[in-house]
């Protein structure tokens, strides 16, 4: 009995706000919020709502639900209870402008990887797997385009950045920050539930970690994602993403995508190298100007975090189990 009581106490302790803080703790609450919203929305769209989940209005409801309950609410509650400053600190307008401009190569990477991944997947016998959340509308402009950008970029960018580059990012101490560049992109990919875009998501998520590290706040990554979306509006007719709703087999894919996607990918990687170097110089100059030779703030990112292994715990494992269940549901074709 004592052993069972001790085991039960250990399990219950894992769900309390951790001291020191760790990166695995938010994963469970994010996954719990996601799966709760997922099945609640599935129920609502099965009979309550009169419009489709793939309509613009339907997608707006889904995005708001998921972002609020899976990302924003857990982040805010954890930050308040654990005393975390998850939004970061202001490090100058120059770094934010560069972050926004870096969205241009991000779009090229997203579009190129999307097209190439889809082509290779279908070429070797795969079938199209739709993401958990998407909408299908024709050409739009004016206020409807603004609504699109708000739904598919601005709201998700804020929620993702707050959760992954705020709450989870603060779980990595300075000595383990390099590992955050691997773990955080993998977690973002797991929470994306977008199978066809996994290669692009991993690369983009890695870049968002670079931006977060150099700007020391979540606003840089948010601006990078917004910049990517606006780039898509401007150059979408030159390097466009294949529409999943119009593709069924490999023969449906035009061969011209290779002539556009591969050069665009090369250009994007060159541009990212430039932006990475420039952001690093901005960060160095700002830190030297504010903090002198020490170049370190009084309160660092991850200042309240334990070691890397602290994040491998019961909450992380349960969160990953929930995500695996959701991925299995998605791959079987069950959507909201």
* pLDDT by position in tens, the chain (length 336): 555 455 455 566 667 778 889 999 999 999 999 999 998 888 888 877 777 888 888 899 999 999 999 999 999 999 998 888 899 888 888 899 999 999 999 999 999 999 999 999 999 988 999 998 888 777 777 788 888 999 999 999 999 999 999 999 999 988 888 899 999 999 999 999 999 999 999 999 999 999 999 999 999 999 999 999 999 999 887 888 888 888 888 888 988 888 889 999 999 999 999 999 999 887 777 665 555 555 555 556 666 777 788 888 899 999 999 999 999 999 887 777
Q: Which has the closest alpha carbon to 114: 206, 234, 227, 194? A: 194
- Distance of alpha carbon 73 from alpha carbon 33, whole angstroms: 9
Length of the chain: 336
Cβ pair 180, 87 in contact under 8 A: no
Structural domain spans, the chain? 18-331
180, 314 Cβ separation under 8 angstroms: no
Q: State the pLDDT at residue 7.
A: 47
Q: What is the value of pTM for the model shown? A: 0.91
pLDDT for 302: 64
Residue pointed to by tokens 């998700």:
156
| pLDDT at site 287 | 63
Residue with tokens 């082509």: 119
Q: How much is the pLDDT for 299?
A: 55
What pLDDT is attached to residue 208?
Answer: 97
Contacts of 283 by beta carbon, 8 Å cutoff, 6+ apart: 91, 95, 213, 214, 215, 216
Say whether the peptide bond before residue 20 is cis (omega within 30 degrees of 0).
Answer: yes
Pair 27, 317: CB distance under 8 Å: no
């Amino acid at each position: 009995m004592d052993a069972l009581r001790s085991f039960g106490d250990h399990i219950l302790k894992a769900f309390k706000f951790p001291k020191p803080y760790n990166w695995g703790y938010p994963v469970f609450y994010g996954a719990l919020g996601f799966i709760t919203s997922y099945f609640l929305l599935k129920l609502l769209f099965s009979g309550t709502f009169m419009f489709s989940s793939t309509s613009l209005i339907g997608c707006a409801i889904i995005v708001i639900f998921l972002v609020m309950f899976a990302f924003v609410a857990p982040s805010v509650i954890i930050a308040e209870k654990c005393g975390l400053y998850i939004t970061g600190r202001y490090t100058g307008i120059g770094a934010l402008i560069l972050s926004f401009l870096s969205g241009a190569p991000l779009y090229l990477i997203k579009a190129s990887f999307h097209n190439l991944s889809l082509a290779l997947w279908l070429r070797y016998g795969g079938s199209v797997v739709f993401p958990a959340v998407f909408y299908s509308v024709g050409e739009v402009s004016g206020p409807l385009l603004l609504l699109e950008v708000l739904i598919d970029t601005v709201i998700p960018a804020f929620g993702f950045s707050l959760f992954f580059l705020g709450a989870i990012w603060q779980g990595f101490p300075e000595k383990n920050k390099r590992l955050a560049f691997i773990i955080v992109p993998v977690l973002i990919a797991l929470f994306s539930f977008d199978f066809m875009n996994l290669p692009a998501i991993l690369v983009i998520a890695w870049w968002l970690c670079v931006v977060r590290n150099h700007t020391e706040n979540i606003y840089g990554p948010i601006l990078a994602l917004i910049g990517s979306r606006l780039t898509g509006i401007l150059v979408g007719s030159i390097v466009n993403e294949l529409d999943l709703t119009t593709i069924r087999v490999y023969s449906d894919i035009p061969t011209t995508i290779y002539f556009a996607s591969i050069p665009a990918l090369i250009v994007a990687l060159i541009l990212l190298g430039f932006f990475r170097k420039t952001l690093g110089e901005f960060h160095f100059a700002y830190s030297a100007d504010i903090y002198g030779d020490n170049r370190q703030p009084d309160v660092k990112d991850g200042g309240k975090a334990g070691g890397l292994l602290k994040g491998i715990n019961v909450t992380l494992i349960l969160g990953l189990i929930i995500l695996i269940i959701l991925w299995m549901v998605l791959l079987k074709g069950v959507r909201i």
